[in-house]
Amino acid sequence: MASADTTHSFDHKHLLSIEELTSLDLEHILSLADRYANATRAGQRPMPIMAGKTVINLFFENSTRTMSSFEIAARRLGADVVSMPVAQSSIKKGETLIDTAMTLNAMKPDAIVIRHSASGGVKLLSRKVECAVINAGDGMHQHPTQGLLDTLTIRRHKGKIEGLNVTICGDIAHSRVARSTTQALSRLGANVTLCAPRTLLPSDAAAWGAAETTTDFDAAVTDRDVIMMLRLQYERMDGTQLPSRREYYHFYGLTASRLSKAKQDALVMHPGPMNRGIEIESAIADGPQSVITEQVEMGVAVREAVLDLLTREAAA
């Protein structure tokens, strides 16, 4: 259970972005996560391989689901977990980001899980600490464990990633999820289409590995294996990017009639939190093709695998 049975060695100190992972790295993490997921489903407790180790959750941005997911993952592996939402830290008292890192580092944790509102903020901290750093989301840049859990969810349903046609629709430009998930899926051979109004499409989508970008959601849904919807991130938009929610839903909402154009067994995904009636019809979110709650479940498994791999003595 604790050791991956491939000959590939996972030699990364941190997990900061999907970009730095090879396809073998990705497979390695996914295989391990797959086994953690199966074990949990079978009601087995994993070996306490992180017993005696300390994980700090340092969240500079509010988060409920990601922080608790990391916390549960670490506890399942027997680690001691300290979760520090920013409101309770001395950051509010004017301490700089690097001072915080140095302070936490002096406490000798084995891993720090960090979410920060600034792109690159997590990387900056990783340079100042000796332990493993896991990026739990930095600004509009990366959210690697989300990319991994999306990929795992798809792989468990479809048996593969290569050759799948995946459409990600929504606020692509402001989404670290879109970037990480697109990179993970395309590195493993999926054809990823990014769909959004032009104001929410990035100009560098090709660099992410996306096969195409489009503003035509009807076309982008047709014959797809996976439809992933993203939330509109008003908090990250500078000025209005859209005319209205009504117009957005008209052109980009996932409705039953749109979904019927996708493959019969197409998966419907959403990283959450969802805005029902803005990007997705409620009946679709709760429907038989939706794997949205399963994404949450796979999140814990992926985070177990990542914590496991990054805190092993051999990898250190």
Partner 1 sequence: MTLHIYNARLLDPASGLDAFGGLIIDGGTIADVGQHLAAPTNAAETLDAKGLCLSPGLIDLRVKTGEPGEEHRETLATASRAAVAGGITSMVVMPDTTPVIDDVALVQFISNQANATALNRIYPASALTKGLKGESMAEIGLMAEAGAIFFTNGDNPIPDAGLQKRAMAYAAGCDALIASRPDERALSGNGVMNSGALALQKGLKGMGADAELIGLQRDIALAQATNARLLVDNISTQASLDTLATAKSAGINVSASISAYSLFFTEDDVGDYLTYCKVNPPFRSENDRKALIEALKTDLVDAVTSSHDPQPPENKRLPFAEASFGAAGLETLLSALLSLVQTCEITLLEALRPITSGPAKLLGLDQGQLKTGTPADLILFDPDQSWLCQREDLRSRSANSPFDGRELVGRVKKTFVAGQSVFSED
Interaction site with partner 1 (CB under 8 A): 197-199, 201, 215, 238-244, 246-247, 250-251
Q: Any catalytic annotation for residue 236?
A: no
152: left (phi > 0), else alpha (psi -120 to 50), else beta? alpha
CB of 243 to partner 1, least distance (A): 4
Contact 40, 301 (CB under 8 A): yes
Which of 226, 219, 216, 156 shows the shortest CA–CA distance to 191?
Answer: 226
Q: Which residues pair with 80 in a beta bridge?
A: 54
CA dihedral 124, 205, 198, 223 (to 10 degrees): -130
Verify whether residue 93 is a known catalytic residue.
yes
**Nearer Cβ to partner 1, position 117 or 214?**
214
3-state secondary structure (DSSP) of residue 279: coil
Judged by beta carbon, residue 73 or residue 196, the one nearer partner 1 is 196
- Measured at the alpha carbon of residue 42, what is the angle toward residues 188 and 270, in degrees to the nearest 5? 45
CB of 214 to partner 1, least distance (A): 9
Q: Under DSSP, is residue 252 helix (H, G, I), strand (E, B) or coil?
A: helix
Cα distance between residue 230 and residue 180, in whole Å: 13
Find out whether 229 and 270 touch, Cβ atoms under 8 Å: yes
Q: Would residue 65 show up in a list of annotated catalytic residues for this protein?
A: yes
Q: Which is nearer to partner 1, 177 or 242 (CB)?
A: 242
Minimum CB separation from partner 1 for residue 251, in Å?
5
Closer to partner 1 by Cβ: residue 10 or 248:
248
Name the active-site residue from 54, 66, 151, 181.
Answer: 66
**What whole-number distance in Å separates Cα of residue 71 and Cα of residue 32?**
18
In the complex with partner 1, the residue whose CB is nearer, 139 or 197, is 197
Least distance to partner 1, CB of residue 169, Å: 13
How far is C-alpha 156 from the chain's CA centre? 16
Query: Per the residue annotation, which of 8, 13, 65, 108 is the catalytic one?
Result: 65
Question: Which residue of the set 14, 28, 76, 115 is catalytic?
Answer: 115
d(CA 114, CA 67): 9
The answer to whether 66 is a known catalytic residue is: yes
Among residues 28, 53, 76, 143, the one annotated as catalytic is: 143
Q: Which is nearer to partner 1, 87 or 219 (CB)?
A: 219
Residue 195 CB, shortest distance to partner 1, in Å, is: 10
Instruction: Assign residue 84 a region (left: φ > 0; alpha: ψ between -120 and 50; beta: otherwise).
Output: beta
Contact of 185 with 151, CB cutoff 8 Å: yes
Query: Measured from the CB of residue 216, what is the shortest distance to partner 1 in angstroms?
Result: 9
Instruction: List the catalytic residues.
Output: 65-66, 93, 115, 143
